[in-house]
């Protein structure tokens, strides 16, 4: 089925995603620099863009920049005075990303911060930034639970949080799969199952990147909860080991 999925992706791209020299050169420069080719597909990039526009997002947070392909899709949805902050572990990736953002004319709207996101996120929260309107989580998968918790803490009611790669060829439904990324996603869904702060779903996708999916979560207005469950759980998950 893989060939069929790729064929359909290419067909839909030919109809829905106009040729774009900036995105094409961003991909070429990332590929040329030896970065892994694991960016979102063009249709997925368009999805992120449409979502950001629909939310009228002015402040976007991304975790996992790579060569800034998804960053460009998202940042182009911002108004002039909008801002996107993207967190990236590897200095080399950040360097390629910044060059691509400069070529895209987005340097004034986008900041790439280098470091492990589990350090960058608490540091960011300590700055007490204005809440983000849209968050895209797409870094390493094992700490997704912790990334998501920080994302909620950096949100306002109505913020949408998107998490990439939550289905992974269906492996997510296999409790016995030992891959850390699969275990990470299962731990994330266990945590979501009790998280009263959000309402969440998964949009599964098939295409050139295989069978995968996005979790899409809407941050709810806090409600008085006599058992205080949502908050206690969240604190427990933040303080738990990130490397499980
Ligand atoms: N969002 C990008 C793809 C990101 S790939 C796109 O669609 O175009 C995942 C990225 O997360 C890689 O660049 C990787 O270096 C980065 N990453 C891995 N572990 C990380 C960590 N602990 N903190 C921040 N970024 C991390
Ligand atoms: C991988 C990571 C991603 O974020 C992705 O979208 C696809 C693949 C990976 O690490 O293999
Ligand atoms: Mg991804």
pLDDT in tens, 60-97: 999 999 999 999 999 999 999 999 999 999 999 999 99
Q: Which residue from 215, 82, 195, 190 is spatially nearest to 136, judged by alpha carbons?
A: 215
Q: Which residue from 213, 207, 210 is spatially nearest to 16, judged by alpha carbons?
A: 207
Ion ligand 3 contact residues with beta carbon within 5 A: 138, 164-165
Complete domains list, the chain, with CATH: 2-243 (3.40.50.150)
Atom of ligand 2 nearest to the CA of 181: 10
Q: Which residue from 219, 218, 204, 217 is spatially nearest to 44, judged by alpha carbons?
A: 204
Ligand 2 centroid–CA 38 distance in Å is 5
Instruction: State pTM to two decimals.
Output: 0.93
The residue nearest atom 11 of ligand 2, judged by CA position, is 38
CA 155 to chain centre: 14
Q: Has residue 229 got a pLDDT over 70?
A: no
Residues 21-60: tens digit of each pLDDT: 999 999 999 999 999 999 999 999 999 999 999 999 999 9
């Amino acid at each position: 089925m893989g060939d069929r999925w790729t064929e359909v992706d290419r067909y839909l791209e030919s109809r829905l995603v106009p040729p774009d020299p900036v995105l094409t050169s961003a991909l070429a420069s990332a590929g040329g620099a030896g970065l892994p080719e694991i960016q979102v597909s063009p249709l997925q990039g368009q999805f992120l863009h449409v979502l950001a526009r629909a939310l009228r997002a002015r402040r976007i947070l991304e975790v996992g920049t790579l060569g800034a392909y998804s960053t460009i899709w998202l940042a182009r949805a911002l108004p002039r005075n909008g801002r996107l902050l993207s967190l990236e572990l590897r200095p080399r990736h950040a360097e390629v990303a910044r060059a691509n953002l400069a070529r895209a004319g987005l340097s004034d709207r986008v900041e790439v911060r280098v470091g492990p996101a589990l350090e960058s996120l608490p540091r960011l929260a300590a700055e007490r930034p204005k809440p983000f309107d849209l968050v895209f989580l797409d870094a390493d998968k094992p700490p997704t639970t912790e990334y998501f918790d920080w994302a909620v803490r950096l949100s306002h009611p109505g913020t949408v949080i998107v998490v990439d790669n939550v289905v992974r060829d269906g492996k997510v439904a296999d409790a016995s799969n030992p891959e850390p990324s699969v275990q990470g996603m299962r731990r994330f869904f266990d945590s979501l199952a009790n998280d009263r702060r959000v309402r969440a779903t998964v949009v599964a996708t098939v295409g050139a990147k295989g069978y995968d999916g996005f979790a899409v979560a809407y941050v709810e207005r806090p409600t008085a909860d006599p058992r205080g469950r949502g908050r206690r759980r969240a604190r427990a998950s933040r303080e738990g080991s990130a490397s499980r």
